[in-house]
Structures are given as structure tokens and as C-alpha cells.
Amino acid sequence: MKVSHRGKKLNAGKKIVPTKFFVNILNSCGRFEITEGKSLVASGQVYESQKIVFQERPPEYTRDNLFLTGKDIYEELKISGYEFGSSFQGVIEADIEGVSGVIRWQDKWIPFLDSVLLFFLLSSSSEQFRVPTEILSLKIDPNIFESFVNRNYVSEKDELRDTIQKKCAIGFEFSGREEMSGKRLCGFASSQAIATSIHVEPKFCIEIPDNWSLEEAATIPIVYTTCYYCFFTRARLQPRESVLIHSGTGGVGLAAINIALRLNCEIFVTV
């Protein structure tokens, strides 16, 4: 995989505005593009090579040498002008030379690779602001990688399995009344929403309009959020465009039709 991208310096003390990227992947050929608005940020191709030669398994990381904690690393980088959000603070610790260390795997490749690139900054003796702009070659033995991931996730998987066996873990959307205020709310839960009462995060709740019943409200969160993601995050749907909606009689299909009608789109539906 070969990619190139541009970097942007974040000035300390100024308000940081989130940057949104759009990723387009062509599954037929493996080509991908990452854009910001109308600007191309990165492009490349993902492919499976038949001639990959992996190096011997590296030695286990030890703390024999001086090392830095992740907190120390990111505080020092922030002073130098590098700003990392919590999702991208994947380096747990590293040796003082920036040659080896421990990186957290969070089931996401982009933060993981970003943390790998961070070692370029740690090993650089220059105090100037520098951003890696190209990956020339990257080889990961999937068997070794999987063994490390599974080693750390065994306890979490066992805990999840015990939870499913002991409790009812199904149900992701709900409607009802808040215990203290009596407000009618609907929204999302991570699990166990099919119950008489649940604990939920306030940020995943919305107040039910007066003209909705609790039964109607319980059908809204997942289907309309799915449509919002498909239409506006992925497809960037604009008013009066043409839309093809499959399975138009299902929950997501009906929600998609309602949104498309609201935008005065030309709608084509299959059932």
C-alpha cells in the first residue's frame, strides 16, 4: 500500500476546528481516495501481494532502557505544535530513543498507523515542525498481529460472553419516561434496551415530541440515524437529486423515503 497526504500545523492557543474527511474505496480494484471538501488529501491502492517476505519476529519490548510514558510523549508534542485527539493517542510508552515501544490497538487501523508514524517524530533529533507525508512500505504479518491482539483481548471477550449468558443483552433503541423528571425520551443504548428500565447516556437521548406515542418513538432512532449516515455522511445527498431505495417497505426504507421526500428528490424504490 502506498499513500501520500498533506499535513496541517495546529497552532497552540487557537481554537481547533474538526476536519472532516470523506473516504471512497473501490472494492473492485482496491483504489481509494481521501478528500477534504473538494481537495484530495490521500490516494493509493490496497492489494494482496504474493511475494511478501516478513522479517523474523522482533524481540519482546522491555523496559531495560529509559522510557517515556504516553502522557509525557503527547505533552511534549503538544508544546512543539502537534495536537492529538484522545482517539489518536495510541502510544502507551516508548524508549527514550523512539525506536521501540507499546502501541494500543483500538480496532481501528487509522489511529494505529498514525501512532506508528509517531515514532518518526520521536526518533528525530530536529526541533523543527515535521510531518511524515508518505509510507513507502509497510509489512504486517497477520498471524503475529492476531496473536498479540488476541492475547490482550481474551479477558474482555470472556467478560462479554459472561454478560450475554447472564443477562438479556438484546435491544439497542428505546422509548419511555425518565425516572426523576418524567420526561418522555427515546434514543440508543449499547445493549439490554428490551427491559422495563435501563441506564443510558444522556447524549444518546432525545425528548419525544408531543404528537408522538411512545410506541412510535421507539421505531425512530436506528432507522433514521442509518438513513442520515447513508444520505448525508456517505452519499452527500442534495435536494432534488435522484435516489434509489431498496426494500422500501422496511423500517430503513420508509425512513429513507420520508427524508428523500423532504428534500424533493426523485425517488426510485424496490420492494
- Percent of residues, the chain, with pLDDT higher than 70: 71
Instruction: Give the residue-averaged pLDDT of 79-102.
Output: 81
- Predicted confidence at residue 224, as pLDDT, reads 94
- Mean pLDDT of all residues belonging to the chain: 78
Residue in 266, 210, 212 with CA at minimum distance from that of residue 240: 266
- pLDDT reported for residue 171: 82
Maximum alpha-carbon separation in the chain: 66
Binning pLDDT at 50, 70 and 90, where does residue 2 land? very low
pLDDT at residue 5 is higher than 60: no
Residues 51-67 have a mean pLDDT of 61
At residue 134, the pLDDT reads 67
pLDDT digits (tens, 9 = 90+) for 104-135: 888 788 888 888 888 777 766 656 656 666 66
Instruction: Name the pLDDT band for 213 (thresholds 50, 70, 90).
Output: very high
Kindly write down the DSSP assignment for every residue of the chain, as one continuous string: --EE----PPPTTSPPPPPP-EEEE-TTT-EEEEEETTEEEEEEE----S---PPPPPPPP--SS-EEEHHHHHHHHHHTT----GGG--EEEEETTSS-EEE---S-HHHHHHHHHHHHHHH----S-----EE------HHHHHHHHHHHHHHHHHHHHHHHHHS-----EEEEE-TTT--EEEEE-SS--SSS-----GGGEEEPPTTS-HHHHTTSHHHHHHHHIIIIIIS---TT-EEEESSTTSHHHHHHHHHHHHTT-EEEE--
Residue 21 pLDDT: 82
